[in-house]
Amino acid sequence: MKKLIIALMLFATPMLSMGAGGGAHLDDANVDVSDKESLQRGFKYFVNYCLSCHSAKYQRFERTAVDLGLTFEDVKQNLMFTADKIGSTMDIALDAEEANGYFGVTPPDLSVITRARGSDWVYTYLRSFYLDDSKPMGINNIVFPDVGMPHVLWELQGWQEARFTKGEDGKMHFEKFELVKAGSMTPEKFDGAMHDLVNFMTYLGDPSQEQRKALGVKVILFLLVLFVLAYLLKKEYWKDIH
């Protein structure tokens, strides 16, 4: 019994650490990968704002077009800036060493980032950049302090400052953001855009999840029918045995 308890604790520890989110409050991304229109908008934001530095090398443009209900021609003309062939993976031309020199770290591949960090973490992170003169690039992030990534979405969101209050423990605690320079989107529209982007990235992490769920429902229904038939057969075989 003692060994079983220890095994369960070891199994649960990684999940608890992943769900902690670095101590910051995580907002609900409310992802829905069955929403094709949201995924299409998120695809647009992804190739325009993420794919120049971050790759998604485990996904192909062709697969994305088919899953999202887009034509190959639409994708090639409007959404393919890093490749020429529709069957290409979503890779980038940015050299890893050059990227490390620019940002101090190599930008990670985003194919499975929502599976590694969680959709809520990514959603909150993208909306939590704020001005911080003490940092080399002049920005910081509540969810990922001292982040090396610049705020590439500032034209949409604008610039915001973070307000902190001193707690009873003597530490500074985040209270709220204040917008000091508006972007091209209202805060509500920007949140919606980030929902679409994270929705698409959640799809990237597991492109076949909708098909798998649909298949799972069919399998469960089949097993239920099989259970009823097996039960009736058992009753028939054993009806004369007391």
Chain segment 192-216, per-residue pLDDT in tens: 999 999 999 999 999 998 888 889 9
> In the structure encoding, which two tokens stand for residue 240, read together?
């004369």
- Token pair listed for 97: 């060493």
Measure the CA–CA gap between 76 and 23, rounded to whole angstroms: 41
Q: DSSP string spanning 166-199?
A: E-TTS-EEEEEEEEEEE-SS-HHHHHHHHHHHHH
Q: What is the pLDDT of residue 99?
A: 66
**Predicted pLDDT at 23:** 63
What residue spans define the domains of the chain? 19-207, 208-242
- Which helix (DSSP H) or strand (DSSP E) does residue 140 occupy? strand 139-141
From 48-52, 53-57, 71-75, 105-109, the region with the lowest mean pLDDT: 105-109
pTM of the full structure: 0.80
Beta bridge partners of 144: none
pLDDT of residue 170: 81
Extract the tokens encoding 212.
């798998």
Please give the average per-residue pLDDT across 153-181, as a whole number. Answer: 92
Are 193 and 156 in contact by the 8 Å Cβ rule? The answer is yes
Tell me: pLDDT of 16 over 70.
no
Query: For residues 92 and 52, is the Cβ–Cβ distance under 8 A?
Result: yes
**Better-scored residue on pLDDT, 120 or 96:** 120
Q: What is the pLDDT of residues 153-163, one digit of tens each?
A: 999 999 999 99
* 3-state DSSP helix/strand/coil % of the chain, to nearest 5: 50, 15, 35
Fold topology of 19-207: Cytochrome Bc1 Complex; Chain D, domain 2 (1.10.760)
- Phi-psi map region of 69: left, alpha, beta (phi>0 left; psi -120 to 50 alpha): left
pLDDT at 3 exceeding the cut of 50: no
97-115 pLDDT tens trace: 776 766 677 888 999 999 9
Residue pair 64/94 in contact by the 8 Å Cβ criterion:
no
CA–CA separation, 27 and 242 (whole Å)? 61
Average pLDDT over residues 9-25: 48
Report the pLDDT value the prediction gives residue 34, as an integer from 0 to 100: 94
Residue 10, pLDDT above cutoff 80: no
**For residue 170, what are its two tokens?**
């003597």
Q: What integer pLDDT is reported at residue 36 of this predicted model?
A: 96
> Tell me, what's the pLDDT at 199?
97
Tokens of 182: 């508006």
